[in-house]
Structure 1
Amino acid sequence: MTESAKQPKQVPKREEIEAKYKWNSQSIFPSDAEWKESFATLDSDIDKLVALKGKLCDGPETVAKMFELDDQIDLKMDKLYTYASVHHYENMQDSTYMGLTDSAKNKWADIASKTAWIRPELLSLPQQTLDSYRAHESLKPWLRAYDEIVRYKPHTLSTEEETILSSASSALNASKDTYALLQNADMKFSEIEDDDGNLVVLSKSNYSGFLQSKKQSVRKAAFEMMYDTNIALKNTLSNCLYGNIKKEILYARQRKYNSCLEASLFDDNTPLSVYNSLIDAIHDGLPTFHQYLAIRQRAMKLDRLDMFDLYVPLVENYELKVSYEEAVEWVLASLHPLGEEYCSVAKHALSSEGGWVDVFENEGKRSGACSISNFRDIPYICLNFNGTLDAVFTLAHELGHSMHSYYSDRAQPHATSSYRIMVAEIPSTFNECLLFHYLIDKARAEGNKQLELYLVNSRCDDYKGTIIRQTQFAEFEKVIHAMAENDEPITPDSLSKAYKDINDVYYGDTALAATTPRPHTLTADARIAFEYLRIPHFFYNFYVYKYATSMSVSDVLAERVLRKEEGALERYFTLLRAGGSKDPLDIIADAGVDIRTPQPFIDAMTSFKGYVQQLDELLKE
């Protein structure tokens, strides 16, 4: 970095930050010594479980014992991993907790290898035997886990074959691991000028800030450097993605699925129609998105939109600074529709006495935000609170995750307390929706047009980023997996063409809009065809569509609760308390939304249309 460059941000050491807002780790283990004592007992626990190998045919009591031992190990491992990983997040430079976390990860892998026999051995029993076991009294506490295993009978290999696949997982993940190393360790960027003319080294962490610059030249330079750096490695990065797809094809074909997508959806017992109806509904709603792009273009006074123009706030809000105490006040006020009990628990959680939240940034602390919960212990909410409005929404989001765990853990036994990702993002985005409505009402009551405009613009961007963009990614995943399964070439050329074709549809590239005119004049920089190179989610096997489904559901549920629709609040609490006791789609249906039909996705795009209209009206005032 040159002398004219900005100096690195000075981050306080942990002992210098406000100590009252820290996670209470003693809720899990009082000290590292107790952690190590518990870890040392694992091998004995595992040996007891492995001793049942070959004996599941003895009767349902033996199977029940197997589930009991497995659950005890899982509970103990959850506590061990949570304690280690949270302390690692507090200071990622501390080698002690890095070591404890690695020990826990290695033990998980060891357990997986030593218990790979359970599913194939159980499923080797005749169906008549499996049915008789299910009816036995001893298996009642374990029926959910039992049914989940039996459901996989058509897709389970022999014990020897399952052991081979389990043992090969590390080697088969080499492409994914290589991609992560390239992106996070080996990829280097050069300097670019910031808004003030200072030379700053571009990084993944500051890239989004450059895209929010008011100067198009700054945004363009950051975009070009980010993409050119990735494109320089396009052959290697593309081959990493192809290697990961080949791994998924191997698993899917060995386990007799028709496709990788079907294999992925089977885990949540989700029909292919849900995935397809999401894509179809978003396609039908794209005219509204194109109208939003036209509004953005007009507000930014641009002759032509490009992909690097889509993240600039349409109103500056940098002067709004919120203390953590004020953020807590706003979040708690926004949660009032959820009732006295929920708000009481949330108030305690966010207080210094509650000890759920590690609030402030410090040297070595994990970046970003997350929520980690362990069965009936104090959840951990990691923040790097910086006093912005976005940070307030992050607080509401992560609190939604932790409160979900709180209610699930107290309503369910450990075996059915863990919820799936498809359900997990509903309470978090639900809380964000409540906070939005609280703050928009506050802004209107105070006549604060700037805040109102900022909030509506932010809400539109939430739909763009969470529903529209994630569905675009989901469609790309579907297309490239189908290409590989049909033995079509998977190269940088074929991948970039597939990505560009889909991007043109979603963003309405005017270069292709001669027959269907768009209300904007977006023409994407050719580099956007290689955006897939920098998206790590494509290595997580059809994961991103769940973001879009979750926000679509939470939007409907929150609106019903805010309208005080009869039974809406009670139905929402059934979701919070359900844990993993049912399939995700059944839990969502019990809350009052059926995503087996396209209607929730259509409703979400209708809501988006309303926010776009509000944005248009506010900008014209």
Structure 2
Amino acid sequence: MSDVRIVKKREEISNEYKWDIEKVYSGIEEWEKDFLRLKETTPKLRAFKGKLNDAKELLAFLKLDEEISRLADRLTVYAFLRSDEDTTNTTFQALKSKIETYLAELMAAGSFFVPEILSYEEGTIEKAIEELPELKMYEFMLKKILKRKPHTLSGEMEELMASVSDCLNAPSNIFSMLSNADMTFPNIKDEEGNEVELTEGNYSKYIKSKDRKVREAAFKALFGTYEKYKNTLASSLTSSIKNFSFMSKTRKYRNSIESSLEPNDIPVRVYENAIETINKNIESLHRYVRVKKKLLGLDEIHMYDLYVPVIDTPKTHIEFDEGVKTVKEAIKPLGEEYLKIFNEGIEKKWIDIYENKGKRTGAYSWGCYDTMPYVLLNYNYELNDVSTLAHEMGHSIHSYYSRKEQPYVYADYTLFCAEVASTVNECLLINYLIDNEKDEKKRLYLINTQLEQIRTTVFRQIMFAEFEKITHEKIDNGEPLTSEDLCSIYHDLNVKYFGKDMIIDKEIDMEWSRIPHFYRDFYVYQYATGYSAANSFVKNIVQEGKSAVEKYKGFLKSGGADYPINILKKAGVDMTTSKPIEDTINRFNELLDMLDK
């Protein structure tokens, strides 16, 4: 009898396990009607060009823009979700393509709005807000735009900057093509001695292998290949940093980091503080290396030993209903109201649960102001799938609260806040599982899982953030950087972060060259701040109970109605201090104590 699990076709899966997408549109005919309405209404935006200094015209534009945007959002969500259900379904692929193409036209129709607001004399928009009380709702949004005024160029210069944007993105595209399409890796031998081709896709499997020879071979083959292209990759990355530096200076920012953080009103101190706090507590990571070395029974620990689990993954088969029950138990500290919304998500079919042929892989939470906050899963009965359910429902309940409590203009939250709610649910889940697991081996596995989460999401991402800070500062100051310089900077950071017990293999010096996030300047630190904020929320909720829950719900309800630092501070988590990251390091130390008995 075969153990092979056959992946079902979409139509073979019962409707009770699918999201209720008909809530958005009953079918394509209804979608097409709204699409036609969108095409007829969008050109009306252009009629407001040159009139936005008049309070009534400004309000009329904002109301029409909202009507059009909400319609476009619904059309987009429906088309994309239907397409993701089965990527082989050409009807829905065509629908997705249709709306995707039209969104560019929609953006063009309203593209005059921001430049026009910024072109007016100081006080013009403030005067319009005073004149017409209905504009008060839009004040924060308009002030955010006006904040960009000192960094906005003349109309001609803005046009020029827009026209070269494609060229400025070239380094990222070159890196992507080289690493994804042109680069090939040598064959290695797997655990059974079979020759297998190494790829970026399967590297994560082999670097976790229990067979040390396999993970060493994978490590050396991967980074050895990157080293062959080190000069091209260094040229690509330094060109990307130079482009960002050029944009920052042209827009009159003091430096690159300020130009990245200031638009969201995030003080540079938040970034620097994160690096300083990790550096002050780096001994915790050194201890982790020592504990791992001891538990793996190694005479010396190498960089390629870092990802191998110290405890074997326990075999599990968790039915979806059982996974739901576990998550509900774990998130009980968030109170009855939160649980009620979670139950609503399950009962009203926010979730598309199981894999089917052609379904998009992975998981996400997505929807818009006028739809349910849908969740795509590919549930496969493993503990990781239960964690994914908790994570994505965290996003969806955050969206639910934001859309319910905020007007459309402030319903979306920033990237800085985006991962907080999902990580709160994940932290509550893993803490619950650790506290309630009776099997010692399974408990140690869970402890190690959370340790790895913190190591990779906080310590590792801050090391990346420090690398970015050093390289950007050097290029801002006109210092050239060669591949040797980049390798040297990266080597020294690894020595500092992993400590004297770790053998810093020369291959790791090339790791900077395979991190795509370095082409999204000053992005990675937000993983660490997001995780730390979530961990602080969990600590407050466990210790303070109801009052902390109310503050946390205040965060969930705030959407984008204020700057992210202010939203978090009001909810009891101050990211301008070192406390959230210190809270996370304290949790890391607690877990190490549990592991190192």
1:207-226 alignment runs, 5 A limit? 207-226=203-222
Please tell me whether residue 88 in structure 1 is matched to residue 87 in structure 2.
no
How far apart, in 1, do the equivalents of 2:292 and 2:20 lie?
45
1:349-368 alignment runs, 5 A limit? 349-350=345-346, 353-368=347-362
Partner residue of 1:596 out of 557, 564, 576:
576
1:149-160 alignment runs, 5 A limit? 149-160=145-156
Q: Tell me which amino acid in the other structure corresponds to 2:269.
A: S
1:108-187 alignment runs, 5 A limit? 108-136=103-131, 137-187=133-183
Maintained 8 Å contact 1:500/1:529: yes
Q: Deviations over 1:193-246 (max 9, x none)?
A: 332333433333332222221111111122222223333333333333233323
How far apart, in 2, do the equivalents of 1:360 and 1:226 lie?
34
1:209-358 alignment runs, 5 A limit? 209-350=205-346, 353-358=347-352
Deviation at 1:542, TM superposition (A): 1.1
Which piece of structure 1 moves more, 254-263 or 172-181? 172-181
Other structure's SS at 2:196 match: strand
How far apart, in 2, do the equivalents of 1:251 and 1:111 lie?
26
Length, aligned pairs only: 594
Q: RMSD of the alignment, in Å?
A: 2.3
Other structure's SS at 2:301 match: coil
How far apart, in 1, do the equivalents of 2:359 and 2:226 lie?
27
How far apart, in 2, do the equivalents of 1:585 and 1:422 lie?
9
How far apart, in 2, do the equivalents of 1:17 and 1:193 lie?
39
Maintained 8 Å contact 1:320/1:388: yes
Q: Tell me which amino acid in the other structure corresponds to 2:549.
A: L
Which piece of structure 1 moves more, 210-219 or 125-134? 125-134
Deviation at 1:523, TM superposition (A): 1.0
How far apart, in 1, do the equivalents of 2:180 and 2:17 lie?
30
Deviation at 1:16, TM superposition (A): 4.5
Maintained 8 Å contact 1:113/1:163: no
Partner residue of 1:24 out of 5, 17, 20:
20
Please tell me whether residue 482 in structure 1 is matched to residue 473 in structure 2.
yes
How far apart, in 1, do the equivalents of 2:470 and 2:582 lie?
23
Please tell me whether residue 545 in structure 1 is matched to residue 540 in structure 2.
no
How far apart, in 1, do the equivalents of 2:200 and 2:11 lie?
28
Q: Deviations over 1:238-268 (max 9, x none)?
A: 3332333233223222221112211110121
The structure-2 alpha-carbon separation of the partners of 1:41 and 1:180, relative to structure 1 and needing over 3 Å to count, comes to: farther
Partner residue of 1:374 out of 368, 372, 394:
368
Maintained 8 Å contact 1:349/1:356: yes
Partner residue of 2:493 out of 498, 502, 511:
502
Deviation at 1:333, TM superposition (A): 1.2
Q: Tell me which amino acid in the other structure corresponds to 2:81.
A: V
How far apart, in 1, do the equivalents of 2:435 and 2:402 lie?
31
How far apart, in 2, do the equivalents of 1:242 and 1:41 lie?
47
The structure-2 alpha-carbon separation of the partners of 1:364 and 1:226, relative to structure 1 and needing over 3 Å to count, comes to: farther
How far apart, in 1, do the equivalents of 2:581 and 2:137 lie?
36
Q: Deviations over 1:61-119 (max 9, x none)?
A: 22222222222232223223222332333333445444444444444444444433322
Maintained 8 Å contact 1:116/1:166: no
Other structure's SS at 2:16 match: coil
How far apart, in 2, do the equivalents of 1:140 and 1:476 lie?
43
The structure-2 alpha-carbon separation of the partners of 1:323 and 1:230, relative to structure 1 and needing over 3 Å to count, comes to: farther
Partner residue of 2:416 out of 409, 419, 422:
422
How far apart, in 2, do the equivalents of 1:158 and 1:544 lie?
32
Q: Deviations over 1:140-166 (max 9, x none)?
A: 221221111111111122334333433
Which piece of structure 1 moves more, 320-329 or 586-595? 320-329
How far apart, in 1, do the equivalents of 2:184 and 2:551 lie?
50
Which piece of structure 1 moves more, 195-204 or 466-475? 195-204
Which piece of structure 1 moves more, 572-581 or 602-611? 602-611
How far apart, in 1, do the equivalents of 2:381 and 2:143 lie?
47
Please tell me whether residue 61 in structure 1 is matched to residue 56 in structure 2.
yes
Other structure's SS at 1:311 match: coil
How far apart, in 2, do the equivalents of 1:541 and 1:369 lie?
25
Which piece of structure 1 moves more, 474-483 or 559-568? 559-568
The structure-2 alpha-carbon separation of the partners of 1:264 and 1:377, relative to structure 1 and needing over 3 Å to count, comes to: same
Question: What TM-score, normalized by structure 1, do the two folds share?
Answer: 0.90
Unaligned ranges ≥5, structure 2: none
Maintained 8 Å contact 2:45/2:109: no
Partner residue of 1:459 out of 450, 457, 462:
450
Unaligned ranges ≥5, structure 1: 1-6, 511-520
How far apart, in 2, do the equivalents of 1:105 and 1:156 lie?
29
Partner residue of 2:554 out of 574, 592, 608:
574
Other structure's SS at 1:476 match: helix
